[in-house]
Amino acid sequence: MLSNLFYIITFSLSIVVSIVNLLFGFIIIIVVIINRQCRTVTNLLMCNTAAATSIYAVLQIFSAGYGLRDDWLHNQPLCVFRAYCYVTVCIIVSGSYALQSISRLFFAVLYKYKYLLTWRIHWFMIIANYLMAIVGPIVPVFVGDGYEFEVDSRLCMATTKVFYSSMLAVTIAYLIPLSIVTIIYGIIFHRARQSARRVVAFVPIRASNTPTSNPTAAKPNLKRELKLMTNIIILVGILICAGIPYLIMVLWHATLRQPPPEPFYLLTMVNISVFFVVKLIVLFCMSKEVKHITVEYLRKCGRF
């Protein structure tokens, strides 16, 4: 049995991470709403991610609060409903990342189809994501022990000890979005490399016929390709790190007779919270306009 100090430290970390999550989510949403130049479909999807991770953070704070109580074993109200909500929000958050990759595919590859770039299509994708997240994890509610209170983590969740419900959760909330994100970013990166090669092949020919041409004119495109690759690796890497410990726990229970170390149950869930907020911070930093407006506002506040 783990000491109470372990739970105090881990749940406190979860609360701190959740507060940071709420802070960045609030900043992103407010900046986009107030500033007209930020009201783009790209920022709409980022706001969707910010709102989803904020809901997740609120759920985490409530769960941590119940886990820190002296009567945590007997006082877990609406446990099955909270576990269902937790899986639903995880699906929405992971799905929001997939929506961002789909939107980038529209703008980078399928830009000739103008209707794909409209607000209506993006709102439709957001609504579809929420509907799938609500319907997808509802089956384990009617299956015995699908969602339950896990003593090892002091959380109401789709415990990794029940293979059916946990595998369903990890498939919908992790494997499917990760596959979509990886495939789409791979297509975008491949398209960017093809474009860069065409530029490299075109510039020397033009340079040989035009004395004033610059042979290094292709470098900006190569830099953009490198930056795109870096961003893709970062975004995909964060999503992988968020869900891989939970997947390992599911497979561990399914294939090995010996249970995993007890601390892993809670640390696996806290890991998801940490990388969700890391993802939100990275998206904030990648959005130059939102970041610039926020920094300028903080500078003005500092002058007073």
- 192 token code pair: 């960017």
- Are 167 and 136 within 8 A, CB to CB? no
- Are 111 and 187 within 8 A, CB to CB? no
Q: Is residue 200 part of a domain?
A: no
Q: Is residue 221 part of a domain?
A: no
Q: Is residue 55 part of a domain?
A: yes
- 34 token code pair: 């107030």
Q: Is residue 227 part of a domain?
A: no
CATH of the domain at 285: 1.20.1070.10
Q: Is residue 147 part of a domain?
A: yes
Q: For the chain, 304 residues long, give each residue's pLDDT as a single digit of tens.
A: 788 999 999 999 999 999 999 999 999 999 999 998 889 998 999 999 999 999 999 999 999 999 999 999 898 999 999 999 999 999 999 999 999 999 989 988 898 999 999 999 999 999 999 999 999 888 877 766 778 899 999 999 988 888 888 898 899 999 999 999 989 988 888 887 776 665 555 444 444 444 444 444 444 455 666 676 787 788 889 989 999 999 999 999 989 888 899 999 999 999 999 999 999 999 899 888 899 999 988 888 876 5
Domain count, the chain: 1
Q: Is residue 217 part of a domain?
A: no
Judging by beta carbons within 10 Å of its beta carbon (0-12, 13-18, 19+), is residue 211 exposed, middle or buried? exposed
- Are 266 and 157 within 8 A, CB to CB? no
The answer for residues whose C-beta is within 8 angstroms of residue 142's C-beta and 6 or more apart is none
Q: How far from 148 is each of 97, 114, 151, 157, 253, CA to CA, in Å? A: 28, 47, 9, 6, 16
Q: Is residue 135 part of a domain?
A: yes
Judging by beta carbons within 10 Å of its beta carbon (0-12, 13-18, 19+), is residue 160 exposed, middle or buried? buried
Q: What pLDDT does 236 receive? A: 86
Which range of residues forms the domain containing residue 70?
4-189+235-298
Q: Is residue 215 part of a domain?
A: no
Q: What pLDDT does 50 receive? A: 94
